[in-house]
A and B are shown apart, each in its own frame.
Chain A
Amino acid sequence: MSTPAGAPADAPATPVVRARNVTKAFGHVEVLKGIDLDVAAGEVVCLLGPSGSGKTTFLRCINSLERIDGGRIWVDGELVGLAERGGRLHRLTDKQIAAQRRDIGMVFQRFNLFPHMTALENVVEAPIRVRGLPRAQAHERARALLERVGLADRAGNYPAQLSGGQQQRVAIARALAMQPKLMLFDEPTSALDPELVGEVLSVMRELADDGTTMVVVTHEVAFAREVADQVVFMDGGVVVERGTPAEVVANPREERTRAFLARVRAGEAG
């Protein structure tokens, strides 16, 4: 309904994310009015759009941090938050939802590192407690991940002793430690000082190059243009326009997309 110029082509294999006609309201405010999305394995999708467009809410629906009111979301072929049994839909229990989330990594705008744990403890916590990984193996993997995000020498530091950019990189390592099939990024650089944005984006760029499946809500148009395979522009709870960065970012068809990009660029220039 809200997808202009044809729905996305059906991917050959099971898409990592498939969303159909997703709706969500907070009270009387409808924030998602029928969102469709397909994310193929290894694909990087950037969700762009003004504040209040519903992009963060949609992202949070993918790992059940928000409950959807209508439509369906599948992750890796499995229905999110619901199960169909005997022709009826059943809500999943907290435990079942927790099990689904193990395979979905999430990075938050405000990092949300555990402040009472060191960087290393943050990264090993879920693999040990949730996956039941042996301690030594979890530590080994965590050190490798901290190395990968350039923070091997900060393993023993508490979050309060790290800069915003370093905290966000630890948060990325923490999510990767669960070896997720999918990584969700909710405006990962919006809370950072401008000079720290680059270090986080470059880690994300490396992840994308390594073939990580990513859905990224961002205001970084340059990142979307260079890294995304698919750019989705949302406004007012609907998808206004979608396509490759060359189409949506470089050559938008819709007036609303053009206006948004012009505003963002004016902001970047100023």
Chain B
Amino acid sequence: MSGPQPPREAAGEVAERPGRIEAVEVRHPWRWVAVAVIAVLALMLAHLLVTNDQFDWGFTLEVMNQNIVLRGLLVGTLFTTVCAMAIGIVGGVLLAVLRLSDNPVLAGVSWAFTWFFRAVPRYVLLSLTGGLGALFATGLSIGVPFDFLLTQWFGTPQLRLLSIDQQALYALFGGVFGGIVGLGLSEAAYMAEIARAGLLSVDKGQHEAAEALGMTKRLAMRRVVLPQAMRVIVPPTGNEVIAMLKDTSLLVAIPVTTELFYRVSQIKNQTYEVMASNMAAVLYYLLATSLLMVGQYFLERRFGRGYGASPRRPAAAGVSLGPGGAK
């Protein structure tokens, strides 16, 4: 090595340690200016919320307490979000697995599904699913496909297990069920891309290590690849859940009326308390989103196992952590 060498202590000689540096820290006056500006703005906002008589918080609370609003929140907003996301996540992972499969037909089906459901706006899609009942004038049955042709040609009896008549179909698709189907399928298309990104983020060596241990591809996917992909999948999925919560306000296209914002709007239109009514919806959406964020935090922690610093249940596993262990 070239360059000046630091002075060396002679062997055995105890070096006198230099004293702690006493220096004036760098000052940041502009930070204080920014704090002052924000404080003033916050005060102005608070003043507006409290003194402006367009905000009638008592009325807002009353709206939030109405039974029809609560039912709308529970059924149209929360229940629909949970069900549509369940369809979306399971469907999305399935679509991603299909898309990445070696079978070109399966990959093509997945591609076409995603293509269609991403292209159609949710509002339009919901008005479509809401009217699906009209397609089945003779009702809908589960059984052998084209059994009516068999009847015509061979005189076999009808081969049907379960039949729903058109009246019931109208009710089904024209209600929350239709909304869940529409939003769920649309969500599956988006989730497919998220899940695909997650699956592709897992190193090829992980597939190989699992398969070298004798795991089938399916077992390797379930035990090794998917849990690692979840780490990449969960954060954008949190985003999707929150987006879904808000998109339930589109159920009006079905038309479903047992939904938070529809109910709030009804009250708004009857009372002309525009701001106060809207704030009832805003507060409920804020509340629900905050709860979802808490849930997301715990999910991320669960699937981030092995990437943080702490070992799992060190006491239970009977392990003592030496300081030199982590790298």
- Contacts from A to B (Cβ < 8 Å): 63, 65, 94-95, 98-99, 101-106, 108, 110, 112-118, 120, 125-126, 129-130, 153-164, 171, 174-175, 178
**When the two chains form their complex, are residues B325 and A154 in contact, meaning their CB atoms are under 8 A apart?**
yes
A-B contact pairs, 20 of them (CB 8 A): A98-B214, A98-B216, A102-B213, A104-B212, A105-B212, A112-B208, A114-B228, A116-B227, A116-B303, A116-B305, A118-B317, A126-B213, A126-B214, A130-B213, A130-B214, A156-B313, A157-B321, A160-B307, A161-B309, A174-B213
Task: Give the contacts of B189-230 with A (CB-CB under 8 A).
Answer: 203, 205-206, 208-217, 219, 223-224, 227-228
Known: A110-B205, A112-B205, A156-B311. A125 touches B212 (CB 8 A): no
Shortest Cβ distance from residue A200 to the other chain B in the assembled complex, whole angstroms: 15
For window 143-169 of B, CB contacts with A under 8 Å fall at: none
Question: Which of A101, A103, A158, A178 is in CB contact (< 8 Å) with B306?
Answer: A158
Chain A residues with CB below 8 A from B287, complex form: none
Find chain B residues with CB under 8 A from A105 CB.
212
Whose C-beta in chain A lies nearest to the C-beta of B321? A157
Q: In the bound complex, what is the Cα–Cα distance between A103 and B318 (angstroms)?
A: 31
Q: List 8 tightest A-B contacts by C-beta distance, closest first.
A: A156-B317, A102-B214, A112-B209, A156-B319, A158-B306, A126-B213, A106-B212, A112-B205
A161 contact from B208, B317, B326, Cβ within 8 A: B326
Which residue of chain A lies nearest to B222 when distances are taken between CB atoms in the complex? A129
User: Cβ of B213 and Cβ of A156 under 8 Å apart?
Assistant: no
Q: Report whether B306 and A159 are in contact in the complex, using a CB–CB cutoff of 8 Å.
A: yes
- Contact, CB under 8 Å: A114 / B224: yes
Indicate if the CB atoms of A98 and B209 lie closer than 8 Å: no
Across-interface contacts of A94 in B (CB, < 8 A): 216-217
Q: Contact partner of A114 among B206, B303, B313, B320, CB < 8 A?
A: B206
Residues of A within 8 A of B326 (CB): 160-161
A110 to B206, CA, bound (A): 10
Q: How far, in angstroms, from A157 to B320 measured CA to CA in the complex? A: 10
Instruction: Please tell me which one of the listed residues A99, A129, A163, A171 contacts residue B223 in the complex, with CB atoms under 8 A apart.
Output: A129
Q: Are B205 and A108 in contact (CB under 8 A)?
A: yes
Contact A101–B228 (Cβ < 8 Å): no
Known: A130-B214, A158-B312; 6 extra A-B contacts, CB below 8 A, are A98-B217, A114-B224, A117-B306, A118-B306, A157-B325, A174-B213
Residues of B within 8 A of A102 (CB): 213-214
Cβ of B325 and Cβ of A98 under 8 Å apart?
A: no
Interface residues of chain B: helix, strand, loop or mixed (majority): loop
Instruction: Give bound CA distance, A156 to B305, whole Å.
Output: 12
Q: Which partner residue on chain B sits nearest A120 by CB separation? A: B317
B307 touches A115 (CB 8 A): yes
Whether the pair A95, B216 counts as a contact (CB closer than 8 A) is: yes
B121: interface (CB < 8 Å) = no
CB distance from B207 to the nearest CB of A (A): 9
Query: Using Cβ atoms and an 8 Å threshold, which residues of chain B touch A161?
Result: 309, 311, 325-327
A104 to B78, CA, bound (A): 51
Asked if B12 CB lies within 8 Å of chain A CBs, one says no
The distance in angstroms between the C-alpha atoms of A154 and B322, with both chains bound, is 9
Q: Are A116 and B313 in contact (CB under 8 A)?
A: no
Is A178 a contact partner of B307 (Cβ separation < 8 A)?
no
| Residue of A98, A113, A125, A155 touching B317 (CB-CB under 8 A) | A155
Min C-beta distance of A150 to chain B, whole Å? 13
Query: Quick check: B312 and A125 within 8 Å, CB to CB?
Result: no
- Do A178 and B213 form a contact, CB below 8 Å, given A115-B306, A117-B306, A129-B223? yes
B156 CB, min distance to chain A CBs, angstroms? 37
Contacts of A118 in B (CB 8 A): 306, 311-312, 317
B111 to chain A, nearest CB (A): 24
Within 8 A of A (CB), among B268-327: 303, 305-307, 309, 311-314, 317-322, 325-327
A95-B216, A116-B305, A117-B306 known; A65+B312 contact, CB < 8 A: no
Residues of A within 8 A of B312 (CB): 118, 156, 158
Contact B213 A175 (CB under 8 A): yes
